[in-house]
Amino acid sequence: MEKTLSIIKPDAVSKNLTGVINAKFEQAKLRIVAQKRLQLTTTQAEEFYEVHRERAFYSSLCEHMSSGPIVAQVLCGENAIAKNRDLMGATNPANADVGTLRREYGESIERNVVHGSDSPENAALEIGFFFSKLEIIE
């Protein structure tokens, strides 16, 4: 069993999509083993997205990610990292496969519904950013 960090982004939380997104995860046999609703400060969003600091979209992305509540969660299952990336779809909703979360609910490349870790190393770092061991109940 593998774990990955998922974030339901402010665009999706504000549209009351938390439940439908969680249903997709559960239908795909991913278990939500930790979950919390919170609002990041811009500084915290900048820290989370540190790897993108030099990119043109960085400040706008961090503004968006701190603009309202998010739902951070740990998903657990077989191949959870790749499975979640498949459910999410391509970064740009316009290029995402039909049926993916980003294609169904994404507004733009920035306001694209969900974040998902892209490797085991980043999953461990990103889970640690939001959750302590005590908060993850498998």
Give 4 or 22: the residue with its C-beta nearer to ligand UDP. 4
CB of 110 to ligand UDP, least distance (A): 3
Sign of CA dihedral 62, 65, 68, 73: negative
Question: Using CB under 5 A, which residues numbered 99 to 128 contact Mg ion?
Answer: 118
Which token pair is 53?
């600091």
Sign of CA dihedral 125, 126, 131, 137: negative
CB of 53 to ligand UDP, least distance (A): 12
Number of CB atoms found within 10 A of residue 135's CB: 13
**Which of 14, 42, 47, 57: binder of ligand UDP (CB under 6 A)?**
57
Active site residues: 115
